[in-house]
């Protein structure tokens, strides 16, 4: 069991390294539709265990969110999570099953878990998808760049709340 966890964690790290060239070239999840890095991620007020308000006031799209979750090159979610994805043959088993996520957590709780799961569990393996400050051992290609834009965070949240 421990060897499986170690292998999956190493694989997750390798996948992030593979993604580095696209970030360095100006592409990837840390850029907006024009290929530029947002200069401001806006306020992310945490209330308890949630970020209750949508980032930058954006509305998420569940269909785009699902596409991000199942795309192993974008979010890498299925490296650690499993869920109601019949097309996915090898989902992860390191973390929670995404099935029922919309019943277990509020929209704001899901948002905080995506933005920065380490606020809730400092030992989590889940990366901070929208935090850039205070991170350690960040590759040059990702410095000061979130893995997901505010819109992508909201898209994933919109999808996860549909999983009842």
The answer to whether 40 and 121 have CB atoms below 8 angstroms apart is no
What does pLDDT average to over the chain? 80
Q: How many CA atoms lie within 13 A of 13 on its CB side?
A: 10
**CA–CA distance from 77 to each of 83, 124, 126, 130, 133 (Å)?**
10, 14, 9, 14, 22
Into how many domains does the chain fold? 1
Q: Report angle CA 127, 133, 137 to the nearest 5 degrees.
A: 60
Nearest to 54 by CA among 97, 125, 106: 106
Q: Could you tell me the pLDDT band of residue 43, with boundaries at 50, 70 and 90?
A: low
**CATH code, domain carrying 113:** 1.10.760.10
Q: What is the tens place of the pLDDT at every residue in 104-154?
A: 999 999 999 999 999 999 999 999 999 988 888 888 888 889 999 999 999
* Mean pLDDT along residues 7-24: 41
Domain around 69:
2-160
> Is pTM beyond 0.85 here?
no
The answer to whether 121 and 49 have CB atoms below 8 angstroms apart is no
Dist. CA 62–CA 162, nearest whole Å: 8
- Secondary structure of the chain as H, E, C letters: CHHHHHHHHHHHHHHHHHHHHHHHCCCCCCCCCCCCCCCCCCCCCCECCECCCCHHHCCCCHHHHHHHHHCCCCCCHHHCCECCCCCCCCCCCCCCECCCHHHHCCHHHHHHHHHHHHHCCCCCCCCCCCCCCCCCCCCHHHCCCCCCCHHHHHHHHHHHCCCC
* Mean pLDDT along residues 3-9: 47
């Amino acid at each position: 069991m421990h060897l499986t966890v170690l292998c999956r964690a190493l694989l997750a790290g390798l996948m992030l390294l593979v993604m580095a060239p696209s970030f360095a070239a100006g592409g990837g999840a840390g850029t907006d539709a024009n290929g530029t890095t947002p200069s401001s991620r806006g306020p992310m007020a945490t209330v308890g265990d949630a970020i209750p308000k949508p980032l930058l006031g954006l509305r998420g799209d569940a269909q785009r969110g699902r596409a991000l979750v199942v795309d192993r090159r974008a979010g890498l979610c299925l490296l650690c999570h499993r869920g109601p994805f019949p097309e996915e043959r090898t989902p992860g088993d390191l973390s929670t099953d995404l099935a029922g996520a919309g019943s277990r957590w509020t929209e704001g709780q899901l948002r905080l878990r995506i933005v920065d799961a380490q606020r809730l569990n400092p030992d989590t393996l889940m990366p901070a998808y929208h935090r850039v400050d205070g991170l350690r051992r960040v590759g040059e290609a990702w410095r000061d760049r979130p893995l997901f834009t505010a819109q992508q965070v909201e898209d994933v949240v919109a999808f996860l709340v549909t999983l009842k």
